[in-house]
Amino acid sequence: MGDFVFNFEMEVRDYECDLQGVVNNSVYQNYLEHTRHKYIKSIGIDFAELSEKGINLMVKRVEIDFQSPLRSGDRFVSKLRMERISPLRFGFIQHIYRLPDNKLMIKALVIGTSINKRGRPELPRELIEVWGLE
């Protein structure tokens, strides 16, 4: 799995844990979203600019496999790579590994699309190029 293009380290905060003493399931979506936004910024895509051109990125589907739960104080690295799903949909493959033992905790596929000014799905050339989706 050496082909991830983006890594981001975080740490579990106590308020993210629930009655069972582990990170609440919904919080992983926060981690995954934050990772995607950091990644998108890192490759120079500016949401505000895209919006002005009338392009809106949105999530259409999420699949998450919960392998093992993160706990209070755990550090982890969130990894990401892109995958073309269809001409109009792109996928973020996202894994979360606990540190320092690199145990896989979460595997996710997040499928997005982009909508143009007329509300129709449209992947701008710009995104296709930067993501290397042929």
Cβ burial of 40 (10 Å; 0-12, 13-18, 19+) is: buried
Task: Choose the binding region for a second copy from 64-72, 79-87, 90-98, 124-132 (rule: CB under 8 A).
Answer: 64-72
CB of 64 vs a second copy, minimal distance in Å:
5
Determine, following the binding rule CB under 8 A, whether residue 85 of this chain makes contact with a second copy: no
**Cβ distance 14 to 69 under 8 Å?**
no
Is residue 101 among the annotated active site residues? no
Cβ burial of 24 (10 Å; 0-12, 13-18, 19+) is: middle
Decide the pairing of beta strands 6-11 and 75-86: antiparallel
Determine, following the binding rule CB under 8 A, whether residue 118 of this chain makes contact with a second copy: no
d(CA 61, CA 75): 27
In the DSSP assignment, the letter for residue 84 is E
CB of 2 vs a second copy, minimal distance in Å:
25
Task: Choose the binding region for a second copy from 19-27, 84-92, 95-103, 124-132 (rule: CB under 8 A).
Answer: 19-27
> Which residues pair with residue 98 across a beta bridge?
76, 103
CB of 32 vs a second copy, minimal distance in Å:
9
Determine, following the binding rule CB under 8 A, whether residue 73 of this chain makes contact with a second copy: yes
Residues assigned a catalytic role = 18
- Contact residues for a second copy, defined by CB under 8 A: 13-15, 17-19, 21, 24-27, 29-30, 33-34, 37, 41, 58-66, 72-73
